[in-house]
Structure 1
Amino acid sequence: MRRQRILIVEDQPFQREYLLNLFREQGVEHLRAAEDGAEALRWLEQERFDLVVSDLMMPGLDGVQLIQKLAALEQPPLLAIMSSASRRLMGSACMVARAHGITVLEQIAKPARAPVIRRLLEKLVSRLEREEQREAPAIAVPTREELLQALERREFHAWYQPKASLIDGRIVAAEALVRWQHPQHGVLRPGSFMGALTAAGLDEALLWVILDQALQAQADWAQLGFRLSVAVNLPTHLLDDPELPDRLAEFVAERGGAPAHIVFELLECSSTATPANYYAGTCRLRMKGFGLAQDDFGQGYSSLYNLVSTPFTELKIDRALVHGCVDDEGLAAALESIVKLGRQLGLEVIAEGVEHPDELALLRRLRCDCAQGYLFSRPVPPEVFTRQLLQERPAKAY
């Protein structure tokens, strides 16, 4: 693991030196400091930084303007926002950053304290380690022919990320996530190929591949005494086919599976041609016994009306509401309201993207049902997931 490179942006000389000392006490060696946004940009032109810790209220180029400038960089650094302003104002600044594709690791209330800096550095190290592990050479956008060939050669594989109960921490379910075992480039994540696959009209073909593998994994786990629900991503536009629920039910029955142990997570990246197709499709999937999840609630196009008008069985809280919830009273209040709403609607509530023990502790206090994220495990091949299950024996049935 390489050393962390951190830039501190603070206009008050005493506060600037105080922050430098806090980071030095935590063992950070590669530190730079800027007295305003303009000087920060000059440093960013000269060096690449892993993290920028920036005040909001600065003369000249303020913190929000600096965020907008960071977005223009080829590889924007991670960000921590620091201020004596209200949590709501800091939360709004975070939304500016996220809207520009910049990851906010922490919101720091002034004066900063050593435990907060320690937690920030833990998050930074964890994030950098993950980025190093998943770094892969950029590949050209695959053609339809290449994708068809990959499907024929069975190069697409389901990896599994556990969902952990917040009662005892045990694995109670899994989400199937696709990986491409590319013959030249190794394991590729969906961002490398899903756009091209959808554009080529092959997302239904991929659905059957992943569902088939999920059913086989369930059967293998059942032989070991584990009965787990598995979530499979379903592009929403496929519900335009009125026969899809029937075909899915037949497919699962032919392989000895149980619809009650399959949860379809409806993806926001597509929509049906008409609302009627959406509601007919979701109703019929539930009538067949499948579970349905509202994915990424609180982000994108998910809405309260959609939640209460669709026969969902699960509510998945988007990671954008989880990150920063410990220090953001607004996010924490929103999480509490969503968890309560989900429970009132009889839904299982799952928090996505949990990365830090403090986030987990808050979710437990809010009585969230389950969580998934790198704090528990990244998506792993089925044999690794099986080892995780065996390490937890005796597991509880789902």
Structure 2
Amino acid sequence: MDGSDHFTDSRLFKVLGGYIGLAGIAIAMIFVAFIILIFIVRIIQYPHLRQQVIDHMTGKSTRSIHTRILKTIVFFLFTAGLFGLTFYSIYKMIYDPPNVLPAIFESNTISPSILFCPSIDSELIFITADYHDSFNGFNDIELFMQRKTSYNLNDGFSIITGNNGRCHFFDGRLTSKPNDSIGGYYHIQFQSINSTSIVIFIGDTHDKMDWTLLIPEGNVFNDVGVEILNDGGILQYTEGRRQVLDGSYTYRSFLTSIIKNAFEVIKVDEQIISIGIIAPKRVIKEVETPSFKLADLFSNIGGYLSIWVIFAFLFGGRRANPFGFVTRFVFIKQDREKLLKELEKMKNDRKSKISTLEREVDNATETNKPSNQDELRNLLARYYVDMDFYEHAIKSFDV
């Protein structure tokens, strides 16, 4: 394997989204580098842009000291949160274990339902059924004869007549085995008339399962395991479970297989057909999760709005609102007093430059700069600033 193939198989390559993700990162880096280059060239080329940057960083604020302090605190809190979220996300990308499927391993403490059907023109006579903690414990003949470790399951059997004839049905919901028993071994005995072949169906314990069909079935997730035993024998099954979204029910699917040459260890009498079923100790359980969550909705909205942030950065936005929530609803009186002081200072100082009108204008506009407060207010209200707080501050003396 060469270096290129090794990289494409690495965790980093998959975490970054493969070639598409790498291409996106490269395009983003080129875009950011291009913006920074333009910014540097322009502030070197035009002195007034340099002054604008300096004024933006060091210029006097029209906000009260209360608002400036709170604004600084909130800025650092948001900045710290951004860095924290970024590092946390990177950490999870590098160190979190992969989540390939929404599946978990679960202890198997639930009995399956089992249907035993005779072959054509034959009949089964039920004798007895037992549950044992394990096959190895059952395989001890003396222990088996004493039945000290077995639990009788006869009460769980009933008769079902369907397309497969008169069958014996074991309902796993009626089992008397201990509720905390994991896995285990089921031993069932029949006497067969005219034939020793038995068809065995292992499926879900659920009211919606139709056991009268030729091949019993239920929900789309209820696969039924099927085996045919001649003269009895031992089979084992594997089980998969799927829990519905609201957790109200878990569907079960089964696969069966026959253990070869295992019948001799359970054969008790030539006239009795003995069937052994080994249950797994663990099953794989899939849990349904929402394909679209509220967090995904917020993420999509945030991603969409970020496109407009880039658009506004490149092409400018609509009128600004310099009077935010804090000014309007928190430090109303203090910011009003600060604004009136700034307006009075601008009125008395004819050489004052209006810092909010930072744009290039043609000669005609230069000769018609606003010379009084009314013209300034009208121009700002039309093109630049949401003037609600301004109008309230200069016309009203109550907060």
Task: Please tell me the TM-score bracket, short chain as reference.
Answer: under 0.3
Task: Give the number of the structure with larger relative contact order, counting CA–CA contacts within 8 Å between residues 6 or more apart.
Answer: 2
TM-score normalised to structure 1 length: 0.20
Look at both structures and tell me which one has the larger radius of gyration over its CA atoms.
2
